[in-house]
A = this chain, B = another copy of it.
Amino acid sequence: MTVWDRPEPSPRPAPLDRERIVAAAVALADEGGLEAVSLRKVAARLGAGPMRLYGYIATKEELFDLMVDEVYAEILPEGRPGDWREALRVLAERTRLAALRHEWLADLLGGRPALGPNALAVSEATLAALDGLADVDTAMRAVETVGAYYIGAIRREIANLRAERATGLSESDWQRARGPHVTGMLATGRFPALAKFVHEGTEVDAGTSFATGLEWILDAVAAKLARPPA
C-alpha cells in the first residue's frame, strides 16, 4: 500500500448523540417504512458500526420510542387553544397530519405508552385546556376517549392508504380496490347488508370522514362536560 491508496487520514468518528441517531432512524423510516429501520443501516448512515449505537440506546424498541417522541414534538401545538374543544380537535388533527408525514407512526401509535418528554408536553397542554371544566375523572375520560378515537381512525386510514397503494393505485372504490377476492365474496349474496353499503355508499375523502367522526365525539364529550357524572 502506498500513501495514495491509504484510506482517508482518519474516519474521525463523528461525535454521535441520541438526536442524530433518532434523526437518522426517522429519515430511514420515512423513506422505507419501519421495516427499513435496522440498527446496521442507522449506524451506517452515521458512518459508524452497529455496536456504536448501544452506547446511546439500550435496544431497538427504545429507539422506536425515541422516534415516536420526536414526532410528538411536531404534534405539540404552538399557541394556546381557544377552548377545550379546539384543543382536542387540534391535537387529533395534528396527530393525523404527523402520521401522514410519517406513515410508520401509525404502526407505533398506541402500541406502548408514550412517556417521552414531548409526549408528556402534549398531554400537559391538552389537560391544561380541560382544567377546571369538570372533575378530573371526567376530563381524563374525555382525553382518553378522543385519543382512542383518533388513534384507531389514523391506523385505519393509513392501512387503507397502503392497501390502495398495493393494489395498483386503483381509485378508492372499495370493490376493485380490494381486489377480486372481496368482490367475489360480495357476489355470493352471503353479505347483503355489506353489499348494499358498498354499492350505495358515497365516497368521502379520508380527511373529512376523520373530521366528521371527530366532531361526533367532541359533541359527546361536550354533553358529558356540561353535565358532570352522577
Query: Taking beta carbons and an 8 Å cutoff, which residues of A are in contact with B?
Result: 107, 109-113, 115, 117, 120-121, 123-124, 127-128, 131, 136-137, 139-141, 144-145, 147-153, 155-156, 159-160, 162-163, 178, 181-182, 185, 190-194, 196-197, 200-202, 204, 209, 212-213, 216-217, 219-221, 223-224
Contact = CB atoms under 8 A, between A and B. Distances in A.
Contacts of A160: 113
A148 B153 contact: yes
Contact of A127 (B120, B162, B193, B209): B193
Nearest to A123: B194
Give the interface centre of A149, A185, A192 by most chain B CB atoms within 10 Å. A149
Given A117-B185, A220-B219, A147 B152 contact: yes
B159 A113 contact: yes
A115 B182 CA distance: 7
B213 A144 contact: yes
29 contacts: A110-B156, A111-B155, A111-B159, A113-B178, A117-B185, A120-B182, A121-B190, A123-B194, A124-B192, A127-B193, A127-B196, A128-B192, A131-B193, A136-B202, A139-B197, A145-B213, A145-B216, A147-B156, A148-B149, A148-B150, A148-B152, A148-B153, A148-B156, A149-B149, A149-B152, A216-B221, A217-B217, A217-B220, A220-B223
A148 B213 contact: yes
